[in-house]
Structure formats: C-alpha cells, structure tokens
Amino acid sequence: MKNRFSLLSLLWTLLIFSGCSSRQVLSSDYNVIPLPVSISLQEEGTPFVLKPSTVVYCPEGDSLLLKNAELLTGYVARQVGFELRITHDDQARNIIRLGSGLQAENAEAYTLVVTPQAVEIEGASAAGTFYGVQTLRKSLPVTDGKVRIALAPVRIEDAPRFSYRGLHLDVARHMFPVEFIKKYIDLLALHNMNMFHWHLTDDQGWRIEIKRYPRLTEVGGWRKATLVSHWEKPDHKYDETPYGGYYTQDEIRDIVRYAADRHVEIVPEIDLPGHMLAALAAYPELGCTGGPYETGTRWGVYDDVLCAGKEEVYEFLEGVFSEIVALFPGRYIHIGGDECPKTRWKSCPDCQAFIRSHGIVSQGKRTREEQLQSYMMSQISDFLGKHGRKVIGWDEILEGGGVKSATIMSWRGTQGGVDAARNGWDAIMVPYQYLYLDYAQSRDEGEPLSIGGYLPLSKVYSYEPLSGELASNPEMGAHVIGVQGNLWTEYFRTAELVEYMAIPRVDAVSEIQWTRPERKNYEKFLGRLNRMRALYDRLGYGYASHGFDEGQSGDNQDM
C-alpha cells in the first residue's frame, strides 16, 4: 500500500509539475486521528494541488466561518509553510470552500470533498466545519513550504459518536501559564474535543480570582511547601518552597474566548464540599472547627471540609458561583462532590443542628451526613439551575440519593455511570482504570514520578464506554453523553510533564470519543499515530515516545 502511494506521488509530480519547477510533491493522507466515519478515496483521480496561491473561501458576513478560515490559514502556515489568502469570491480557482449548510441530524457533522478543482468542507454548523478543518489539516504533511501538496480526490463523511468529548486539567495542585492553557485547548481542538474541564480549586490551591472573596487567592492561592516524594510511602519529603498563583478574571475571560473560537466549551470546577482546604485557610469560619487551617501541602484526602450546617457557607457558595456564572458562558458547571469525609460533620454542632432543623434523615445504607451532602449539592444545583446551568458532579454525589438533574462523572469505575443512566440522569465516563492520564504509562524505571497506577496507551484505547447494560439497553446507553480523559497534576510541576503525560494517550481518548467502535483497531491506530509525531514536533508539543515506538511497524491503511 505504502509503495502504491509513493508511486502515485511520483506520477503526479511528473504529470502536474513537469516543466514548471523541480519542486517536490508530497501527498495528503486522510487516515487521521480520530478516524472519520467514512473515507471514500479515488486513488487514481487527478489530485487537488495545495500551493501558496490556493485561497480559502468563506461567505461574507459569516463571522463563525471567517474564524474557521483564519484558523485554517494559520494551521497551514505553521504546518506546511505557506500563507493562504482568504476570499469571499466562491468562484476563485484552486479554492478551499468552507460552508455550514450541511443537512444532518448531528450538528457536529461535516463532509469533506476533494475534487481536482476544490476542497469543499461543509459542516452542519460552524463546529462541524471546524472538525472538517481539523481533518484537512491533519491530512497534510508537515513541511517547509518549498513543496506542493497533492490531495487525492476523496469524499469524507463524518460525525462524532459522543457529544461530550472532554479533556480535564488540574491547575490546583500545579498551575500553568495562560499561554500553556491555550496550547492545551489547541490540543483539544486538534482532537475534535469540545469540553475543557478546568479543575480550578482543591485543597492545595485556589486558582481563580473571586472579587467578593479576595483572600481565596491571596491566602488560598498559596501553600508553604509541596510534597515531592510518593504520597503513599513513608518519609515524606517536602520541597519547603512556597508555591502559588491564580488566574485573574481578565485572564479567564481571555481563555474562555480563545476556547470558544475553537468550539471548546469550558467546564469550570469548584470542588466542594471536600477538597476545600485552601478556601478554609482563607476563610476559617467556613469550616466546622473554625480552624486555623493551612492550604494543603500533601496529596490525598483531608478531613477538614466545608461546614454544611452554617447559613453563611451557603451564602459564600452563592457568592462564588455568581461570579463563576458571569465568567463562564457554557452549559455546565462542575461542583465536585468527590472524596468528602464526614468526620467533622458527625461531631459538628452546627451540622447536627442543621440536620435536625431540616428534617434530614438516614435512608437505608445512606447516613444522615451523606444525605446532608446531597442537600448541599442540591442547593447549589438549584441555584445554578436558576442561572440556566446544569451541574456535573463526581459519582459520589449519587451516595446521598443524588442531585436531581445533575450529570454524573463516573470516575471510580463505570458503576456510577450505569446507576446514573438507570435513574435517567446523564453520565460522562471517566473511569480511572482507563482514563486517568496522570497514571504511569509504562513500567520503565525512568518514568516520571506519578500518583500511582499503570495505564498504557493500549489500555486507554481498549476502553468501550457502552458495555454491559449500557449496550443492551439503548435507553440507558443514550444517557452516556460522553467520555473524558483526566489529568491530575500532583506530581507534574511543569508544562513539559503535562504534555508528556497527555500525549499520545489523548489520541487514544479522542478515538473513544469520536470513532465508532467497529472502526477502531489498535494496530492501525498506531500507524495513524506515527504521523502525528511530526505535527507534535512542529507545534512544539512534548510527548512520551512509547506509543510511537510501538507503532513503528504499524499498518497505516484504513480505507
């Protein structure tokens, strides 16, 4: 197969460019990640030739398609080395035409049709067009501009399998510059992902400016030291260096805009009522004992959590979420709910009085304190509901009987997602066994220190979100709205480490999210992955080489 391709390139070189110049001709390859629904290639047809005079058309007055056109010309310039011009004249020659008039059930669908004269990308919405743009750019080789690129005639039809295609980043344990957050969003966009779950607060740091509560970042944004040895091993070693910082509201707005241009919605997470030690350090009156508290310096779970028995805690949360709602226009707000020990609540007079006065009682195996957590989460969910938002919570929020209309993020395995779906709630699958990108990806000695676990690329790729009951009962399966990869950063202080953990497992995650299971094939995926390497190099991403090395012998043909 590979030989046939290079023979064809040679033929095209001779036919199209004989006499013109001695420029090299490279061919496109439509086997991209995530793999499209269908690729009908006419291998023998005359190709479309991408060259510096190629123009990108978008209709006048359509700002969304103009954005797509600008992004496309930017991608081409960076990857291929020449700057294409944008035009509103749809009759121009040698043209890439962008439209968003495709009639399709799935609003993110697109078609990409290549003829000798034109490349037509038609989305069912501007988002669909954007995914067509991504497929086109990933089909192009990475070169220095002194070439022509032959795109074989093709018809690609494509649409995502899941509507929620997420990637998460924890900036509480370690934070990263605004420029890196944008680069991370670019990584999502490159993989047709549309949800950036931004974990903004935790025990070890509060990273978002809240005007009404300045101490959250002044005090809660800082910790005095960081655990640098393994958290489960004795003899903890700390670096004894203060660590901190936060994102200003202006920076957040800038990032939200940047993401929106790339059809990425940000899901901000304020994790409560556990994982709140940084907030307690800032405002000790929000805890059961009144403190004093210190922003966390070690990893794991802390007993000190928000007090659920004081009215002022509920007022505080409404104050915080009012600002969150104003900053993030997306549909979802994540309110956490994971790993909240009930130790303090059991002996807190305020919590116990609140339980009595609100008639909160145990139900079956569920304790009164678990019900109290449900009460608190429901209050916040109702508040956000009034602002037109839907909440997402970690699967623990099912423990107190659930929060109505919440979407469950199933991380402790898949049972949370199954239970949610059975009860008619939406679920997002993030089981740690398959999708925790903070786990080690190889057993090599030289692997960076991580929180634990072992999750090689092949295991990520093997994950099938709709199995068991979710597969046999379509009504339940329909409640699984998507899949997400999570990247917690306890041990990843630098952007380089984050990239190393994310890439190439993010590629595998994207095929779980986008590609139909019958199209998935690990060996072929490794072949496709190999081609991503040059693109990652050009775009300045670091990566772990494991998957690429595995793929050296991969067969790259899918059509």
Sites of contact with ligand TNX (CB under 6 A): 338-339, 394, 411, 436, 438, 451, 488, 490
Residue closer to ligand TNX, measured from CB, 280 or 451: 451
Residue closer to ligand TNX, measured from CB, 109 or 172: 172
Residue closer to ligand TNX, measured from CB, 456 or 527: 456
Q: How far, in whole angstroms, is CA 146 from its chain's centroid?
A: 35
Residue closer to ligand TNX, measured from CB, 82 or 176: 176
CB of 279 to ligand TNX, least distance (A): 15
Q: Are 64 and 24 in contact (CB under 8 A)?
A: no
Query: What is the 8-class DSSP label of residue 454?
Result: B
Q: How far, in whole angstroms, is CA 441 from its chain's centroid?
A: 19
Residue closer to ligand TNX, measured from CB, 451 or 544: 451
Which residues fall within 8 angstroms of residue 431, CB to CB, at 6 or more apart? 410, 411, 412, 413, 414, 417, 463
Residue closer to ligand TNX, measured from CB, 158 or 438: 438
Determine which one of 339, 350, 419, 464 is catalytic.
339
Instruction: Return d(Cα 537, Cα 535) in angstroms, integer.
Output: 5
Q: Kindly report whether the peptide bond that precedes residue 292 is cis, defined as omega within 30 degrees of 0.
A: yes
CB of 396 to ligand TNX, least distance (A): 8
- Two tokens at 198? 């931004």
Q: Are 554 and 526 in contact (CB under 8 A)?
A: yes
Instruction: Return d(Cα 549, Cα 530) in angstroms, integer.
Output: 8
Residue closer to ligand TNX, measured from CB, 122 or 490: 490
Catalytic, 275? Answer yes
Cα–Cα distances (Å) from 555 to 86, 270, 524, in that order, read: 37, 44, 5
Residue closer to ligand TNX, measured from CB, 105 or 232: 232
Catalytic, 339? Answer yes
CB of 436 to ligand TNX, least distance (A): 5
The enclosing H or E element of 394 equals: strand 390-394
CB of 122 to ligand TNX, least distance (A): 39
CB of 164 to ligand TNX, least distance (A): 17
**In 10 A of CB 475, how many CB atoms?**
9
Determine which one of 275, 334, 369, 370 is catalytic.
275
Buried b (16+ CB within 10 A) or exposed e, 446-468: eeeebbeeebbbebbbebebbee
Determine which one of 120, 158, 186, 202 is catalytic.
202
Instruction: Return d(Cα 173, Cα 398) in angstroms, integer.
Output: 26
CB of 505 to ligand TNX, least distance (A): 14
Instruction: Return d(Cα 255, Cα 169) in angstroms, integer.
Output: 14
Instruction: Return d(Cα 157, Cα 104) in angstroms, integer.
Output: 11
CB of 338 to ligand TNX, least distance (A): 3
CB of 320 to ligand TNX, least distance (A): 19
What would the DSSP string read from start to end of 404-445? TTPEEEE-SSSHHHHHHHHTT--EEE--HHHHBTTSBS---T
Buried b (16+ CB within 10 A) or exposed e, 120-143: bbbbbbbbbbbbbbbbbbbbbebb
Residue closer to ligand TNX, measured from CB, 288 or 451: 451
Specify which residues 4 forms β-bridges with.
none
Instruction: Return d(Cα 89, Cα 283) in angstroms, integer.
Output: 60
Query: What is the 8-class DSSP label of residue 300?
Result: S
Instruction: Return d(Cα 260, Cα 269) in angstroms, integer.
Output: 18
Residue closer to ligand TNX, measured from CB, 451 or 503: 451
The residue among 220, 208, 219, 278 whose CA lies nearest residue 246 is 208
Catalytic, 202? Answer yes
CB of 284 to ligand TNX, least distance (A): 22
| CA quadruple 494, 456, 34, 104: dihedral, nearest 10 | -100
CB of 453 to ligand TNX, least distance (A): 7
Angle among Cα 477, 482, 485 to the nearest 5 degrees reads 135
Active site residues: 202, 275, 339
